[in-house]
């Protein structure tokens, strides 16, 4: 029997946001591999073995998954959101590149999922309705100077921006520095949305102006959406405002 490896996105939280393709693959695989809370989202089933591991060992996890597939098993590596966005797909391909030739013979599929920024933009309205960029604010895998440079240039180009991994217990000060930079470069009325735990029972959405924003508004379960200079808010009686970026930019 030849093995197979699927790298699947579980979306932002609610299982109804899994694609039909992901549901189908998880109904047939023999092994599921991933970070503890993501593996916990997959329902238990006879014939499915769960391999949950700590988040910091991505390359080990990828190699383990490839080894099991090379032994003939059907392995699914799960990520939250989309597996290609700051997640496991690239880690698996690094392991394929560095690993034995047998890894290159495997059937490997990447199954996309709804990434956090899309779910957050949808909950708030349509913040990513015009050009945008996504930046991971964690400096675990790149120097802080590069994050600042990308942030500065994205603001100069007037993109709406989605910031992943804004803040963690290990990096409490990074988001404060990023916010200082945004406040220095943008007008104080610029809108910023803190979208926490979108599509889970803990979902909380807060839209404020940059002048009102504080670092404590973000944590590791938050994706932060900074509007462009054209992003605006439609206020409604008794209902959440609609935050959106118009589709066109005047000449």
Evaluate the CA torsion angle 43, 21, 58, 66 in order and state its sign.
positive
In 10 A of CB 116, how many CB atoms? 28
Contacts for 57 with CB less than 8 Å, ≥ 6 apart: none
In this chain, which of 63, 79, 121, 231 binds ligand SAH, going by CB under 6 A?
Answer: 79
29 near 74, Cβ under 8 Å? Answer: yes
**DSSP annotation string for 21-68:** HHHHHHHH-SEEEEEHHHHHTSPP-TT-EEEEE-TT-HHHHHHHHHHH
- Residue 121's alpha-carbon distances to 33, 91, 150, 235, in angstroms, are 29, 27, 21, 17
Q: Which is nearer to ligand SAH, 49 or 109 (CB)?
A: 109
Q: Which is nearer to ligand SAH, 76 or 87 (CB)?
A: 87
In this chain, which of 3, 81, 125, 174 binds ligand SAH, going by CB under 6 A?
Answer: 81
User: In terms of DSSP H, where are the helices of the chain?
Assistant: 20-28, 36-40, 58-70, 88-98, 116-124, 144-156, 174-185
Q: Which is nearer to ligand SAH, 70 or 87 (CB)?
A: 87
Residue 86 lies near ligand SAH (rule: CB under 6 A): yes
**Number of residue whose CB is nearest ligand SAH:** 81
In this chain, which of 63, 121, 165, 228 binds ligand SAH, going by CB under 6 A?
Answer: 165
Stretch binding ligand SAH (CB under 6 A), from 82-90, 147-155, 208-216, 227-235: 82-90
Residue 89 lies near ligand SAH (rule: CB under 6 A): no
Unique residue bearing structure tokens 């992901």: 22
Q: Which is nearer to ligand SAH, 30 or 203 (CB)?
A: 203
- Name residues contacting ligand SAH, limited to 187-246 (CB under 6 A): 195-200, 220-223
Q: Which is nearer to ligand SAH, 3 or 174 (CB)?
A: 174
Residues making contact with ligand SAH (CB under 6 A): 12-13, 79-82, 85-87, 115-116, 120, 164-165, 195-200, 220-223
């Amino acid at each position: 029997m030849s093995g197979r490896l699927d790298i699947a996105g579980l979306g932002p939280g609610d299982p109804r946001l899994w694609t039909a393709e992901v549901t189908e693959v998880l109904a047939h695989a023999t092994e599921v591999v991933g970070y503890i809370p993501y593996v916990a989202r997959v329902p238990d089933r006879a014939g499915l073995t769960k391999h949950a591991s700590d988040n910091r060992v991505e390359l080990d996890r990828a190699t383990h998954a490839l080894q099991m597939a090379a032994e003939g098993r059907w392995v699914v590596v799960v990520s939250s959101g989309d597996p290609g966005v700051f997640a496991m797909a690239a880690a698996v391909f690094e392991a394929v590149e560095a690993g034995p030739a047998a890894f290159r013979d495997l059937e490997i599929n990447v199954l996309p999922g709804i990434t956090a920024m899309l779910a957050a933009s949808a909950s708030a309205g349509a913040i990513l309705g015009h050009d945008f960029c996504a930046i991971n604010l964690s400096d675990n895998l790149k120097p802080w100077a590069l994050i600042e440079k990308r942030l500065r240039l994205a603001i100069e180009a007037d993109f709406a921006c989605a910031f992943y991994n804004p803040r963690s217990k290990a990096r409490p000060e990074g988001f404060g520095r990023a916010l200082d930079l945004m406040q220095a470069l943008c007008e104080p009325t610029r809108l910023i949305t803190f979208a926490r735990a979108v599509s889970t029972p803990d979902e909380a959405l807060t839209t404020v102006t940059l002048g009102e924003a504080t670092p404590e508004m973000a944590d590791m379960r938050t994706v932060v959406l900074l509007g462009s200079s054209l992003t605006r808010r439609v206020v409604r009686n008794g209902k959440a405002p609609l935050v959106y970026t118009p589709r066109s930019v005047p000449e």
